[in-house]
Amino acid sequence: MPSARQWQPPWGAGSTSNWGQTPVTGPHLLERRLAQEVLAVGYYPFTSLINRHFSAEDKERIVELLWQVAYVDATLSAHEQHVIRKVADLLHLSHASYVGAKLRAKDAAGHK
């Protein structure tokens, strides 16, 4: 089996993407396809796996890490808040745990 670097799409090595003139290579095509799968499927397959194998404390820590990522640019968008809230709901995190994770991440980022 060829490695990702050696892989060639069946339609030829010089093919271009649908979004411009960037050549489509094996690794880029795979990354794009994986991103499409995540967007198409949603969060449930991932959160259900976490629910089966992680403790409540672990799930709270995951949400705290998501908040840390959101706070890294000092701007919190409505989309970031929505996604984190959705993930927290799918992880069956209590509101108190959700808020606690958010406040700890906010403090760690140095935001008031």
pLDDT digits (tens, 9 = 90+) for 86-97: 999 999 999 999
pLDDT of residue 56: 96
DSSP character string of 21-74: SPBP-HHHHHHHHHHHHHHHH-SHHHHHHHHHH--HHHHHHHHHHHHHHHHTTS
Residues 6+ apart with CB under 8 A from 58: 50
The domain limits of the chain are 1-41, 44-109
- DSSP code for 20: S
What's the whole-model pTM score? 0.64
What's the distance, CA 74 to chain centroid? 19
Question: Which residue is listed with tokens 């808040």?
Answer: 81
pLDDT of residue 15: 45
pLDDT of residue 6: 53
